[in-house]
C-alpha cells in the first residue's frame, strides 16, 4: 500500500506542479467565459444592426402597414427603428428586370434584403426574401412574424371582424412548468433545466474522454522511456497501474473541481444577470439544483473515470506511440460517444425500458443514469444499483487490465493484435 501511495503521489505532483497545468486550469474558465461573452455581444450587435429593406409589394396593401408595424416593434438601444424601407414601384411586366436589378443591389450591399410580396400572398401564404445572408435566424423570424401579423390583420379587416377582439381571443398561451419532487412542487423553467443538464453531461463526456486519454498516454510514454522497467523491479504491475490511474485521476479531478467551481459561480450569477438585464427574462423561473445532484455528479465522474481509465491504460500497454494509440482507441471512444448520443433519447423518454437498461450498463451509466437522476426519472435504488454495477465492473476491468499490462509492457516495436491480447489474458 505504501508503494502504491508513493506512485500516486509521484504521478499527481508530476502533473499539478507544471506551469502548463496551473495556467491551463486557471485560464480555461476565463477563456470560456470571454468566448461566450464575445459571442453573445457580437450576436447582439449583429441582431441590432440597422438594415435597409427593399419591398416589392404586388398587392399594393401590405408594404405601408408592414413598415409602420416593424418600425414600432423592432428598435435598437437608442429607440430607433431597426429597419428602413425602400418601396419599389412595380408592375407585373417589369418584375423580372426589377428583381435582377435589386438582387445586384443586395449583392453590392446597398440594401440588406429584397422582399417580394406576390399578389397571391393572401391565398398561398408565402413570400420571398433575397439576401446575401439567409442564415440570420433572428431577422428571418422577425420578418416572418411581422408579415404574418400584417397579412392576418388585413384579412380580418377585409372580413369585417374586429381585429382587436379576434387577436385577444386567439392570443397564445404561456406554458408554466412546475417540477414535482419529494421536497414538494416548485415552478422551474424546463428550458433552463434542460440547458443545465446538457451542460453537466457535456462536462462529464469531455472529462471521461480527456482524462482517459491522459492515462493511456502516460502508460505508453513510461513504457517507451523504460522507466516502467525500473519501477517494476520494486513494485507489482497492479500497484504501478493503480498509482498511474489514481495519480492522473487525482490531477484531473483537481482541475475538474476548479472548473466546476467556476461553472457553478458563473451559471448562478449569470442567470441572475440574465433575469435583471434581458427583456422578459425577469419572470424566468430558475431551477434549484439540489446537493444530491452535485454529489452524484462527483460520484459518477469518479466511477466513470475509473472505468474508462482502466480501458485506456490497457490500450496504453499495447501500443508504442501516438499513431498506434489513435488507431486502437476508437472502440473505447465510441462507447463514450454512444452514451452521449443516447442522452437525446433518454431526456425525452427517461422512464422507458430502454432508458433504464442503457443507464444500468456500466459503460453508459456515468452519463445516462446521472441524466435520468437530474430530470427526476431515476429512483434512488436504480442509482445505487448502477453504482454497484460500476464498482463490480471496475474490479473486473482492473483485473483484465493487469493481465494485459504484465505482458504488454515488455512488448516493444510491435503493436499487439486482438488474438494476442486474448492469449495474454488467458495465460498471464
Whole-number pLDDT of residue 277: 47
Say if pTM beats, i.e. exceeds, 0.75: no
| pLDDT at residue 264 is higher than 90 | no
147-206 per-position pLDDT tens digit = 999 998 888 888 887 877 877 777 776 656 556 556 656 555 556 666 666 777 777 777
CA distance 34 to 28: 10
Cα–Cα distance, 367 to 378 (Å, whole number): 13
d(CA 159, CA 378): 54
Question: What backbone torsions phi and psi does residue 312 show, to the nearest 5 degrees?
Answer: -65, -35
More confident residue, 175 or 359: 359
* Sign of the dihedral through C-alpha 232, 327, 311, 15: positive
**Would you tell me the crossing angle of helices 330-346 and 365-374 to the nearest 10 degrees?**
20
pLDDT at 194: 65
Domain ranges within the chain, ordered by starting residue: 50-169, 190-427
Query: What mean pLDDT is reported for the chain?
Result: 77
Find which of 138-142, 191-195, 286-290 is predicted with most confidence, using mean pLDDT.
138-142
Which CATH fold topology does 50-169 show?
D-Maltodextrin-Binding Protein; domain 2 (3.40.190)
Between CA 383 and CA 365 the distance in angstroms is 9
Q: What is the pLDDT of residue 360?
A: 92
The band of 361, judged by pLDDT with boundaries at 50, 70 and 90, is very high
> 293 pLDDT exceeds 60?
yes
Amino acid at each position: 500500500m505504501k508503494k502504491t501511495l508513493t506512485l500516486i503521489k509521484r504521478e499527481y505532483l508530476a502533473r499539478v506542479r507544471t506551469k502548463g497545468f496551473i495556467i491551463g486550469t486557471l485560464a480555461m474558465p476565463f477563456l470560456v467565459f470571454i468566448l461566450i461573452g464575445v459571442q453573445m455581444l457580437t450576436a447582439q450587435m449583429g441582431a441590432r444592426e440597422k438594415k435597409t429593406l427593399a419591398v416589392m409589394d404586388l398587392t399594393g396593401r401590405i408594404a405601408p402597414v408592414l413598415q409602420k408595424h416593424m418600425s414600432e416593434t423592432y428598435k435598437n438601444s437608442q429607440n430607433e427603428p431597426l429597419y428602413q424601407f425602400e418601396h419599389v414601384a412595380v408592375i407585373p411586366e417589369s418584375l423580372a428586370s426589377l428583381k435582377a436589378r435589386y438582387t445586384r443591389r443586395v449583392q453590392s450591399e446597398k440594401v440588406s434584403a429584397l422582399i417580394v410580396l406576390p399578389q397571391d400572398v393572401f391565398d398561398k401564404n408565402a413570400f420571398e426574401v433575397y439576401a446575401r445572408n439567409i442564415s440570420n435566424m433572428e431577422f428571418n423570424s422577425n420578418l416572418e412574424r411581422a408579415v404574418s401579423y400584417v397579412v392576418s390583420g388585413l384579412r380580418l379587416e377585409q372580413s369585417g371582424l374586429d381585429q382587436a377582439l379576434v387577436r385577444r381571443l386567439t392570443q397564445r398561451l404561456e406554458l408554466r412548468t412546475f417540477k414535482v419532487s419529494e421536497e414538494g412542487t416548485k415552478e422551474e423553467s424546463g428550458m433552463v433545466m434542460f440547458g443545465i443538464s446538457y451542460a453537466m453531461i457535456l462536462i462529464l463526456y469531455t472529462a471521461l474522454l480527456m482524462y482517459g486519454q491522459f492515462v493511456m498516454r502516460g502508460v505508453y510514454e513510461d513504457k517507451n522511456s523504460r522507466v516502467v522497467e525500473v519501477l517494476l523491479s520494486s513494485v507489482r504491475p497492479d500497484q504501478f497501474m493503480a498509482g498511474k490511474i489514481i495519480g492522473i485521476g487525482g490531477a484531473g479531478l483537481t482541475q475538474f473541481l476548479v472548473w466546476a467551481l467556476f461553472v457553478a459561480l458563473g451559471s448562478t450569477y449569470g442567470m441572475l444577470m440574465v433575469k435583471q438585464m434581458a427583456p422578459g427574462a425577469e419572470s424566468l423561473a430558475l431551477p434549484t439544483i439540489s446537493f444530491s445532484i452535485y454529489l452524484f455528479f462527483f460520484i459518477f465522474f469518479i466511477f466513470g473515470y475509473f472505468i474508462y481509465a482502466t480501458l485506456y491504460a490497457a490500450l496504453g500497454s499495447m501500443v508504442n506511440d501516438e499513431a498506434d494509440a489513435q488507431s486502437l482507441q476508437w472502440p473505447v471512444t465510441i462507447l463514450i460517444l454512444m452514451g452521449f448520443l443516447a442522452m437525446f433519447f433518454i431526456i425525452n423518454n427517461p422512464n422507458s425500458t430502454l432508458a433504464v437498461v442503457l443507464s444500468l450498463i456500466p459503460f453508459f451509466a456515468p452519463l445516462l443514469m446521472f441524466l435520468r437522476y437530474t430530470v427526476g426519472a431515476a429512483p434512488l435504488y436504480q442509482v445505487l444499483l448502477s453504482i454497484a454495477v460500476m464498482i463490480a465492473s471496475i474490479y473486473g476491468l482492473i483485473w483484465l487490465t493487469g493481465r494485459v499490462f504484465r505482458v504488454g509492457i515488455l512488448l516493444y516495436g510491435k503493436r499487439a493484435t486482438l488474438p494476442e491480447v486474448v492469449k495474454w489474458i488467458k495465460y498471464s
